[in-house]
Amino acid sequence: MDSGLLYLLAISSLSAYGIILGGWASNNKYSLYGAVRSCAQFISYEIPLGLSLIGVIAIAGSLNIERIVEAQGVGLANWNVWWQPLAAIIFFTAALAETNRLPFDLPECEQELVGGFHTEYSGIKFVLFFLAEYTHVVTISFLTALLFLGGWHFPGLTGPVDGSLTGYLVRWLVLLAKVALVIGLIMQLRWTLPRFRFDQLMAVAWTGLVPMGLCNLTGLVIVLTMDLSRWWMAAISVLILLSFGIAKMSPKKASQRTSTTIPVERRFGFYYRRGLSHD
């Protein structure tokens, strides 16, 4: 398909409807709250995900996934992960949030809202929810391998172009090995990182990934307009990543520091307004 990448993104976005309907149909207010929170997370990370892919599309000049893979060539140095390292990081981080993997698995947070939108489900209904979730993980792993890791290309394994069975098998094995590598990385992160709070999760999207994606897109436009070398893309991406990292790690002034604890009046303001006095 000439718009294959756009089609995949559109289909994957439909999972937000399943989350909302699943939480609403439970007739449980905590499940509904969990569904709304999960949907807010899902929609927020759609934006940096799309921004990260614009650079890949601009380099290849097509939305066709096969043409994007072919544009990366056979050599290891032609993979998009080297030309657009910041886009690869943004895409992978947003993909973790969209698939509810740690450290973004707020829908499965046992300490808050019971178990999220799937609290009231068990048996085959619970299986269907998590079958969709883990299928999403496999799909994202395939997209990561195709868009940033050269797809079925690997140095020394160019593969026949005559359509022979051996050539197809070699390409499939190379692609599946890269997908398995990405899935293994996702599993390793699940064993390693702690879970974000919800305010931290939203801050990562709106104050981190979205501004970095916009800056990366601006740098890409400048490089393509001025017809500069592709290495300028990589240099700009690394510079943006370092700049945001230094800005986030720099100590804040006392006047800029915010408490990590939400005041009781804000958390339970509704009940205070109804039954208690603030005076």
Segments making up each domain of the chain, as ranges: 4-275
Could you read off the pLDDT of 246-261 as tens digits, one per residue? 776 666 554 454 445 5
Could you tell me the sign of the dihedral formed by the alpha carbons of 114, 119, 123, 125, in that order?
negative
Phi, psi (degrees; rounded to nearest 5) at 164 = -70, 160
Q: How far is CA 265 from CA 2, 274, 276, in A?
A: 53, 12, 10
Q: What is the pLDDT of residue 144?
A: 93
Could you read off the pLDDT of 25-49 as tens digits, one per residue? 888 888 888 888 888 888 889 899 9
Enter the tokens of residue 238. 């690394």
103 touches 196 (CB < 8 A): yes
Total Cβ atoms within 10 A of residue 253: 6
Q: What is the pLDDT of residue 271?
A: 42
**Percentages (nearest 5) of helix, strand, coil residues in the chain:** 70, 0, 30
pTM of the entire predicted model: 0.82
